[in-house]
């Protein structure tokens, strides 16, 4: 019989919990990775992974959890915790915080702060970029980050316009306050990731000219590849380094997945 892992997302709790049931081995690890990245792409504040009913076929298979955490470290950067019951030793090599049950994980995380997150679904139509800028302006006012309104509007405009012009899929704009940083992200359902190398960009290049603008104002940016699309994200620093002094990290070097 082929191995299998089933997952169930349990909402209505302090933080979302994904319960994994079945056998984790080399065959099922890619499925686990894809499901967890898909959930993290919704930008939860934290995600608790309940592995109490998951059997480990080979100890090395647990490394997939650590890989997921590393892929999502820059964005969305939310907490990823494990609920392991009495099987904690098998999961400690993942490098993730381990708790006996979800309630213990919730207690360790403390109360959620939903005010730090904004999201809006958009269709790939004329006017989508304008609506995304309105959302950014609202977020910067809510979080008292007036100096980031301009740069964040540049970033979200280019991201949304790329979806409208090239991906042609519904999208979700995701904004978050992360300490003294603001994250701006757009999730779409095209698996093609525009590339940027930092040099001159032909006028006909997909996304390249918009990525130049993003690179000029973002401190860090990249993409997260998903089975059904991608997230393009950027981090902007409220301390306000000059645009021409910011590091050129480029999507080609930051892409994950």
Residues 202-238: tens digit of each pLDDT? 444 434 456 788 988 999 999 999 999 999 999 999 8
Q: What is the pLDDT of residue 250?
A: 36
Residue 187's pLDDT is 98
65 — pLDDT class (breaks 50, 70, 90): very high
pLDDT of residue 1: 56
In the predicted model, is pLDDT for residue 93 greater than 50? Answer: yes
CA distance 240 to 181: 10
Banded pLDDT at 71 (limits 50, 70, 90): very high
* pLDDT tens, position by position, 134-154: 999 999 999 999 999 999 999
The helix or strand, by DSSP H or E, that contains position 141, with its residue range, turns out to be helix 128-142
3-state secondary structure of 98: strand
Q: What is the pLDDT of residue 233?
A: 96
For the chain, what is the mean pLDDT?
A: 87
Q: Which of 93-97, 212-216, 247-251 has the lowest mean pLDDT?
A: 247-251
Report the C-alpha gap between 82 and 51 in whole angstroms. Answer: 7
Residue 193 has pLDDT above 90, yes or no: no
Residues of the chain with pLDDT > 90, as a percent, come to 74
pLDDT tens digits for range 37-54: 999 999 999 999 999 999
Give the per-residue pLDDT at 29: 96
- Of residues 170 and 208, more confidently modeled: 170
How many other C-beta atoms lie within 10 A of the C-beta of residue 86?
7
Q: 5-109 — its CATH code?
A: 3.30.750.24
Q: Is the pLDDT of residue 79 over 50?
A: yes
Higher pLDDT, 151 or 257: 151
pLDDT at 206: 39
246 pLDDT above the threshold of 90: no
What are the structural domain ranges in the chain? Answer: 5-109, 114-254
Contact 75, 224 (CB under 8 A): yes
Torsion 220-161-176-17 (CA) sign: negative
Closest to 113 measured CA to CA, from 137, 143, 75: 143
Q: Helix H segments across the chain?
A: 29-40, 63-71, 102-109, 128-142, 149-162, 208-217, 251-254
Backbone angles phi, psi at 169, to 5 degrees: -125, 160
Name which CATH class applies to 114-254. Answer: alpha beta
- Residue with more model confidence, 212 or 30: 30
Alpha-helical runs (H) found in 72-127: 102-109
Contact indicator for 84, 24 with CB cutoff of 8 Å = no
């Amino acid at each position: 019989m082929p191995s299998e892992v089933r997952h169930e997302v349990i909402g209505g709790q302090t933080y979302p919990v994904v319960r994994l049931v079945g056998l984790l081995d080399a065959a099922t690890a890619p499925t686990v990775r894809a499901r967890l990245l898909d959930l993290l792409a919704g930008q939860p504040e934290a995600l608790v992974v309940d592995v109490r009913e998951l059997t480990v076929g080979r100890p090395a298979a647990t490394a997939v959890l650590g890989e997921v955490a590393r892929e999502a470290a820059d964005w969305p950067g939310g907490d990823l915790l494990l609920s392991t019951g009495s099987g904690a030793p098998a999961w400690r090599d993942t490098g993730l915080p381990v708790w006996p049950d979800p309630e213990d994980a919730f207690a360790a995380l403390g109360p959620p702060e939903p005010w730090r997150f904004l999201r809006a679904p958009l269709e790939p139509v004329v006017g989508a970029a304008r609506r995304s800028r309105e959302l950014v302006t609202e977020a910067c006012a809510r979080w008292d980050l007036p100096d980031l309104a301009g740069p964040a509007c540049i970033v979200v405009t280019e991201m949304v316009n790329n979806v409208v012009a090239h991906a042609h899929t519904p999208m979700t704009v995701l904004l978050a306050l992360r300490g003294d940083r603001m994250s701006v992200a757009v999730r779409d359902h095209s698996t093609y990731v525009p590339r940027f190398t930092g040099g001159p960009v032909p006028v006909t290049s997909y996304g390249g000219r918009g990525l130049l603008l993003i690179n000029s104002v973002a401190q860090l940016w990249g993409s997260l590849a998903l089975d059904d699309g991608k997230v393009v994200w950027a981090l902007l620093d409220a301390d306000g380094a000059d645009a021409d002094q910011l590091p050129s990290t480029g999507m080609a070097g930051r892409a994950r997945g």
